[in-house]
Amino acid sequence: MTMRAFIAGLPKAELHLHIEGSLEPELMFALARRNNIAIPFDSVEAVRAAYSFTRLQDFLDIYYQGANVLIHSQDFHDLAAAYFDRVAQDGVVHAEIMFDPQTHTARGIAFDTVISGLLSAMEEAEAKHGITSRLIMSFLRHLDEDDAFATLEMARPWLDRIEAVGLDSSELGHPPEKFARVFAAARALGLKSVAHAGEEGPPAYVVQALDLLAIDRLDHGNRSLEDAALTARLARTAMTLTVCPLSNLKLCVVDTMDDHPIDRMLREGLRATINSDDPAYFGGYVADNYIAAAEARGLSKDDLVRLARNSFLGSFLPDDVVADHLTRLDAYAAMPQPVA
Ligand SMILES: Nc1ncnc2[nH]cnc12
Ligand SMILES: [Zn+2]
């Protein structure tokens, strides 16, 4: 069995996926046509050619523009259904999916339209592929605290269908402290929390996310490694890091995949996981991310199993369900399968 086949069959959870970032150019064109929306590209090839970024903001500009084709509940359903159909081939058995309501409500799309489409696709994916999933509602950090509070208010009727809040978009200049009050309010409503920190922002932003947002999981976190005390704290507290190797490469968080710190994170005792972030924009779904990291950094079979194990340990699933996933993972890992 090749390493690729081993990775594709490895049971795993995806913990860092922006559903709007799974909008493939083909579906973007189909939805643009269906909804009569003009897009500034003549072909799927032209869209893909535009996906060349030197920093996070270059990507965000094009990513928010792409989301303009999403209008109806069916569109959000089709978007999520395409993601599940694709990752069913990647060994994904559970996904914790971020969505950005403000990207849509700012365009006049109702919160209910967005979430109802996503939820119907999530139910369908469980029946069709056996993939379970949870929703994470992310606040856009370039917008202000009031806008985040207004979004939390819109989410109230849906709180039993939302697992956690998150924090994404332009990191530099928008530190976690800006959202301390809204995260406290979300926690008081029973929601868990995650935040992007240390992707482009300094280690101090990660410390703020821990101390001021009381996050349950850290999205990216790469730059934590610049601070030995912070790295030790993350290891000691078994904080899960949702690392996204192809995203890091495309957004120039690392210069080459050979420089990626995924193996260093494991060596430092961090609970690192591998995820795709925005697979339609960064050139690969979750298994592609495992493969790229494994090839560049020479990850062993044990490292790959550790990463998959971490994905279940870092999930928001109940302990007994996590234990079942780990039993199946161990059985898979124990099967004779030389990694070529
Ligand atoms: N990698 C990323 N960082 C910040 N915000 C995002 N939104 C979607 N992907 C993101
Ligand atoms: Zn992200």
CA distances from 92 to 9, 17, 51, 145, 280 (A): 9, 12, 26, 34, 17
CA distances from 191 to 214, 237, 316 (A): 12, 20, 11
Q: Is 303 in the pocket of ligand 1 (CB under 6 A)?
A: no
**Model pTM score:** 0.98
Nearest bound ligand to the CA of residue 19: 1
Domains identified in the chain, total number: 1
Mark 228-254 as b/e (b = at least 16 C-beta within 10 Å).
eebbeebeeeebbbbbbbbbbbbbebb
Question: How far is ligand 1, taken at its centre, from the CA of residue 90, in Å?
Answer: 22
Q: How far is the CA of 61 from the centre of ligand 2 (A)?
A: 14
pLDDT digits (tens, 9 = 90+) for 36-46: 999 999 999 99
Tell me the residue range of the domain where 126 lies.
3-334
Predicted confidence band of residue 339 (pLDDT cuts 50, 70, 90): low
Average pLDDT over residues 212-229: 98
- Calculate what percentage of the chain has a pLDDT beyond 70: 99
Residue 74 sits in a domain whose CATH number is 3.20.20.140
Cβ count within 10 A of residue 30: 14
Q: How far apart are CA 182 and CA 146, in angstroms?
A: 9
The answer to the question of residue 244 being in a domain is yes
Average pLDDT over residues 252-259: 98
pLDDT exceeds 70 at position 340: no
Q: Which of 64, 168, 250 to mutate to test the pocket of ligand 1 (most atoms within 8 A of CB)?
A: 168
CB 221 within 8 A of CB 198: yes
277 Cβ closer than 6 Å to some ligand 1 atom: yes
- For residue 310, what are the CA distances in angstroms to 2, 204, 259, 274? 22, 25, 22, 9
Domain annotation covers residue 339: no
Q: Mean pLDDT, to the nearest integer, of 134-139?
A: 99
Residue numbers annotated as active site: 199
Do the domain assignments include residue 340?
A: no
The verdict on residue 114 lying in a domain is yes
Nearest CA to ligand 1 atom 6: 169
DSSP letter string, 207-262: HHHHHTS--SEEEE-GGGGG-HHHHHHHHHTT-EEEE-HHHHHHTTSSSSGGG--H
Residue 174 Cβ contacting ligand 1 at under 6 Å: no
The pLDDT value given to residue 114: 98
Dump pLDDT digits (tens) for 243-255: 999 999 999 999 9
Per-residue pLDDT, averaged over 90-104, amounts to 98
What is the 160 CA–ligand 1 centroid distance (Å)? 25
| Burial environment of residue 282 by CB neighbours within 10 A (0 to 12, 13 to 18, 19 or more) | buried
Strand order in the sheet with 217-220: 12-18, 92-99, 132-140, 164-168, 192-197, 217-220, 240-243, 271-274
The answer, yes or no, to whether any atom of ligand 1 lies below 6 A from the CB of 196, is: yes
The residue whose two tokens read 């996590």 is 322
pLDDT in tens, 60-79: 999 999 999 999 999 999 99
The answer on pLDDT for 199 being more than 70 is yes
Do the strands 132-140 and 271-274 form a parallel or antiparallel pair, or are they unpaired?
A: unpaired
pLDDT in tens, 14-57: 999 999 999 999 999 999 999 999 999 999 999 999 999 999 99
Phi, psi torsion values for 141, nearest 5 degrees: -75, -15
Instruction: Report yes or no on 259 lying in a domain.
Output: yes
Check if 77 has its Cβ closer than 6 Å to any atom of ligand 1. no
For residue 327 the two structure tokens come to 């039993």
Mean pLDDT of 120-149: 98
Residue identifier of the C-alpha nearest atom 5 of ligand 1: 169
Q: How far is the CA of 218 from the centre of ligand 1 (A)?
A: 13
Q: Return the beta strands (E) in 30-100 as ranges.
A: 92-99
247 found inside a domain: yes
Is 181 inside a domain boundary? yes
Residue 42 lies in a domain: yes
If pLDDT is split at 50, 70 and 90, which confidence band does 336 have?
A: confident
Annotated ligand binding at 18? The verdict is: yes
Inform me whether the pLDDT recorded for 221 exceeds 90.
Answer: yes
ipTM exceeds 0.90, yes or no = yes
DSSP-assigned letters across all residues of 281-293: HHT--HHHHHHHH
Minimum mean pLDDT range among 38-47, 68-77, 127-136, 231-240 = 38-47
Mean pLDDT of the chain: 97
Q: What is the pLDDT of residue 278?
A: 98
Ligand nearest to the CA of 168: 1
